[in-house]
Structure 1
């Protein structure tokens, strides 16, 4: 009795070559020809071929596992005889991904902002006030594939990245005021926690926003001689300094105290610090003035 070639078992292809073999139970043992009949996805023929004589299945080019990882191919084994008896079987191929692509860091913004002196754990924000976040893309994995766990390496100890990918303050007392830097530029590398693949370094800059944490500083003033008389005239200009910036360094001047009953004899421009005489000064009179400088945060200095 003649028999068809025996159905050959399904298999998973995890290497570049897998041999398929059909056995003919007839004693004549006719040669067998192997071929692909169909498969899914339809592109299977672009990646695999079968040796018609030996049944060896070869991978012909790399498979992009981000789009396709599983193939099902119908293989036919046919006798080389007048009867041309044949049978078919399914071959299941699972292509295992390899680290063909390094992970890539994606930043929600290349620049972030945080107030100086922020506590550890404070979120760094972008220009729109949203948290500055870091994500990782890896072309070795498709959208439905489970992603590996990544660790982040930063070239600064002052910031860290939490498990949600947010950039956080990592040290206390970040000071923007001179001579400290007003910004930190550092690099981030993403590395697979259980692998060796790592991303290229990505640079990010974090700016420290000013906080009104400095009082104005008034200079020491040497004694000044002013001619006697009752005409208005400039005495000197007071210039205070403030290590804060912007509105936090906007200073207003006022006279806090004048000795020798001289309160009505002097005036100061609150914006420029120009000190003038406004009352009559007699020869030999001496006055000691205490000038006050106040910034918009109500920090005050007197001298």
Structure 2
């Protein structure tokens, strides 16, 4: 939240929401004071309805993070939620619900917490889950901590961990673990970036996606140097869907991201190695039954 311009260091001390109408008209919200970055790290996030949220992180992993909501009128009165630990960000579900993963890196247990649009705790969070939370980021800066659960349109949630490779708990909208879960795999999730953090690099974990029918999509890296990465679809019963997974044919090729359309088509971005140390980028459209609908290369080496 700081940047250097013309040798001057500027520290952001306040935020404003700005709404842009379809005709280009601007509405500027009230000034929202933020914590002093010299004393406390924080990060903002925008919800799907235009509400802004500020996560103020504790000094230690055993402290409490504070979540504040603000809109064009400023801080929303009475809105303050507290979560133990260092949640990386918020997840959003139906009816304005907000979801957070509570847990510490590599320590059991983990929990999913849920809050309503007014910041009140809801009884649809999970019980303690026997799995360790894992970070979505490795590197310098206040960006570590467990990512939020993946939230489906009906409020079904998935807590995704890399304990033991990959471990996923699927919970129904009332917060109970569904039959057939957890899903497990011996390989972890795909990461991207410069993962050599000893030299100052940073690395981000790929984001899972959920589609119609509460089908969860995960991206796995190549299991061997002679293989390509895979995308797998897991049904609401916790089992891999018939016909899946889909593997990239080229050794070392990786799936980097995936989104799912309303018809269940998965659109995945693949990065494939080319000659001369270069890479290409291709979008793959995959039908719910794993049939390849088409591929489009968007970046040539």
Give yes or no for TM over 0.5: no
Kindly indicate whether structure 1 or structure 2 has the higher relative contact order, using CA contacts under 8 Å at least 6 residues apart: 1
Instruction: Point out the structure with max Rg over C-alpha.
Output: 1
What is the TM-score of this pair, normalised by structure 1? 0.19
TM-score, L = length of structure 2: 0.19
